[in-house]
Structure 1
Amino acid sequence: MATTVNPSTRSTTTEAHARREAWRRRLPLLPALVFTIIATQIPFLITIWYSMRSWNLLNPASDVFVGLQNYIAIFADRTFRQVAVNSVLYTLGCVLLAMLLGIGLALLLDRKFIGQGVVRTMLITPFLIMPVVSAILWSISMFNPSYGLVNWVIGLVGIPPVAWTSQYPFLSVLVALVWQWTPFMMLLVLAGLQSQPKDVLEAAQVDGASTLNTFFYITLPHLRRYIELAVLLGAIYVVNTFDQIYLMTAGGPGTQSANLPYYIYQRAFLGFDIGQAAAMGVVVVVATIVIATVALRLIFKSFMSTED
C-alpha cells in the first residue's frame, strides 16, 4: 500500500531545510559580524554612557550621572551651532564643487588622446595623498604668505600677498578638500561614462542631437546613480574632516573654520570635558546614520527603477 505524505509536513520540512541552508551560508560571515559589533557597537554604547555623565578630567569628583543634561547644554551652545553650520557648508561646498569638477574631468578623460594614461594617473594622484600631507602641501607650498605659489601667481598681476589661512581660513580649507576629493568623484563618473552603451550615443548622433542635448538627456540620466553614490560617499567622509582643519587653521580664528569633529577634539582633549564631547559625538553619529540611511534608500530605489 502506498503511503501518502502530509502536505503540511512536507512544507515544514522544506522550510527547515531552507533555514539550515541559510544559516550554512551565513555562518562564514559570523566572525566578521562579531568583530564588527565589538569594534563599533560596544564603543558606541560606552560613548552613550559617557554622554550621560558630567565628567571633567580636571575635576575627578565631577563624575556624576546627569541624564540628558549634556545634550541640552550642547544644543544651547552657540559655538556648537556655529561649527555644525560650518560642517554642513564644508560638506555641501566640497561635494558640489568636487562633483562639478569631477564630471568635467571625466568627460575629458572619456575621450581618446595621446598620453591619456599619464594624465589620468596625474589627476588621480591628489586622492592617493594622505590628508596630513595634503594639508601641509596647501598651507606651506600654496598658501604661505611669503613664498606660497598662490601669492606668487597673483603677484604677477599686481595683487599684494594674502595671508590665506588667516584672512580666509574657511576658503583655504575648502580649496584643499575640493582638490583632494575631485579625483574620487572623477573616477566614479568616469566608470559611469565607460559603462554607457555606445550604440545609444551613436543613435542620438544619427538623429541629429547636439552634444549638449545628448549630454543632458542621455548621458546625465545614465550617470544619475553614479553621481548619487559619489555624493553620498563623499559627504560621509568629508563631514568627518579633521586633518586639514587641524594643520591649516587649527579651527581659527576662534572657531571660524572649525567643524564638529574638530570642536569635539577641542572639548575632549583641550577642555577635558568628556561628558559633553561624548554627547556631541553621539549627535554627529546619529545624524550621519540617519542621513546616510535616507540617501541609501533613494539610491537603491534608483537602481531598482533602472533595472526595471
Structure 2
Amino acid sequence: MSAAATAPTHRTARGRRPADPQGSDHAAQHSRAEGWRRRLPLMPAFVFVVVCTQIPFLLTIWYSLRSRNLLRPEGEEFVGLQNFIDIFRDSTFRGAALNSILITLACVLIALLLGLGLALLLDRRFLGRGVVRTLLITPFLIMPVAGAMLWSISMFDPTYGLVNWLIGLVGADPVDWTSQLPVLSIVVALVWQWTPFMMLLLLAGLQSQTGDVLEAASMDGASPWQTFRLITLPHLRFYIELSVLLGAIYVVNTFDQIYLMTAGGPGTASANLPFYIYQRAFLGFDIGQSAAMGVVTVVATIIISTLALRLIFRSINAKEQS
C-alpha cells in the first residue's frame, strides 16, 4: 500500500477543508465588536429615550393596577385589572374614545385631500409660487395654543367672530360654534393647522416623480385625469400612507385645541381621550383609572402604528422590487 493511500486525508468529500472553529469564533467576536462599535454613539440617545418614555410607562402600568386617589391616599390598594374593567364600563370614556376616532379620521382625511389639491397646484410653475408656498406653510408653524385662541376668539366668537360676519352677509343667523358645534369647530381648527403638513409631504412626492413618465403618458394620448389616476397616484402611495400615519399619531394626542376652544364641553361632548385623562387625573384626582386610560390609549396607538408601518414597508419593498 502506498504512502499516499495511507496518509490521513484533511479534506472533506467535496474537496474542502472543514471550517476552523477558532477562526469562526474570532470572526463572530469581531462581528460583535464591530456591531457594538457602531451602536455605541447611539447609546446616550437610547438611554435618554428609555428614561423619558419607558420608565414613566412602566410606572403608569403600575398605577393602573392599583386603586389610587389623591383625595383618599389611605385607601390605596392593589386591584389588578379592575380599573380597566371600570373604564370600559364608563360611558364617558367610550364617548371620549369615539370622539378621538372621529376627530382623528375627519382631520386626517380632510387635511389629506386639501393638502393633495394644494400640492398639485404648487407643483406647477407660476409667478409668486415661493410666496404662496410660504403663506400656505404658515399655519403649521403657529403654536397650537395660538392657533386655538385665533379660531376661538377671532373666527368662532358668536358676537365678533369673522365666520358669523361672513354668514351674516347672506342673511344667516349667528351661531355659537364652540357650544353648538364643538366637534366641528375643533376639526376645522385642526384641519387648518395640519393641511400644510400634508401638503409638504405630498409635494415632496410629486417633485420626486420623473418628468419622462409624464411626457410618455401625454404622448400616448392619456388625459390629465388618466395620468393622475394611473401614474401619479400610485407613485404617491408611499407619501399618502406616511402622511396618514404621522398625522394620525399627532392628531390623536390633541389637547390644546380642546382645552382652549371647548374645554371638552358642553359637558364632555367634545372631550377626547387625552383631555378626559387630564380631567380624571388633575380634576378628579383618580390616578388609578387615569393611568389605566393612558395604558389603553398607548397600546391602541402602538397597534395602529405597527399595522400602518407594515403597510408602508410593504409599499417600499414593492417599489424597490419593481
TM over 0.5: yes
Per the alignment, residue 57 of structure 1 pairs with 70
Does 2:166 align with 1:137?
no
Q: How many residues of Structure 1 are paired with residues of Structure 2 in the alignment? A: 305
Per the alignment, residue 72 of structure 1 pairs with 85
Q: Distance in 1 between matches of 2:65 and 2:291?
A: 8
Does 2:212 align with 1:199?
yes
Mapping of residues 1-308 of structure 1, within 5 Å: 7-308=20-321
Per the alignment, residue 11 of structure 2 pairs with none
Cα distance per residue 1:199-223 (max 9 Å; x no partner): 0000000111000000000000000
* Secondary structure at 2:214 match in 1: helix
Q: Report the residue type matching 1:153 in the other structure.
A: L
For residue 158 of structure 1, report the CA deviation from its aligned partner.
0.5
Larger radius of gyration: 2
Q: Report the residue type matching 2:239 in the other structure.
A: Y
Instruction: Provide structure 2 residue ranges, at least 5 long, that are not aligned to the other structure.
Output: 1-16
Cα distance per residue 1:137-186 (max 9 Å; x no partner): 00000000111000011111001111111110010001000000000000
Instruction: Provide structure 1 residue ranges, at least 5 long, that are not aligned to the other structure.
Output: none
* Secondary structure at 2:46 match in 1: helix
TM-score, normalised by the number of residues in structure 1? 0.97
Cα distance per residue 1:239-288 (max 9 Å; x no partner): 00000000000000111111000000000011110100000001000110
Q: Distance in 1 between matches of 2:79 and 2:142?
A: 43
Judged with a 3 Å threshold, the aligned counterparts in structure 2 of structure 1 residues 8 and 254 are, in CA distance, closer, same or farther, namely same
Q: Report the residue type matching 1:52 in the other structure.
A: L
TM-score, normalised by the number of residues in structure 2? 0.93
Q: Distance in 2 between matches of 1:8 and 1:302?
A: 42
Report the RMSD for the aligned CA atoms in angstroms.
1.1
For residue 11 of structure 1, report the CA deviation from its aligned partner.
2.4
* Secondary structure at 1:56 match in 2: coil
For residue 8 of structure 1, report the CA deviation from its aligned partner.
3.2
* Secondary structure at 2:319 match in 1: helix
Q: Distance in 2 between matches of 1:185 and 1:255?
A: 30
Which range moved further: 90-99 or 11-20?
A: 11-20
- Runs ≥4 in structure 1, deviation > 4 angstroms? none
Identical columns (%): 72
* Secondary structure at 1:61 match in 2: helix
Q: Report the residue type matching 2:207 in the other structure.
A: Q
Q: Distance in 2 between matches of 1:99 and 1:229?
A: 11
For residue 9 of structure 1, report the CA deviation from its aligned partner.
2.8
Q: Distance in 2 between matches of 1:228 and 1:149?
A: 35
For residue 15 of structure 1, report the CA deviation from its aligned partner.
1.9
Q: Report the residue type matching 1:26 in the other structure.
A: R
For residue 55 of structure 1, report the CA deviation from its aligned partner.
1.1
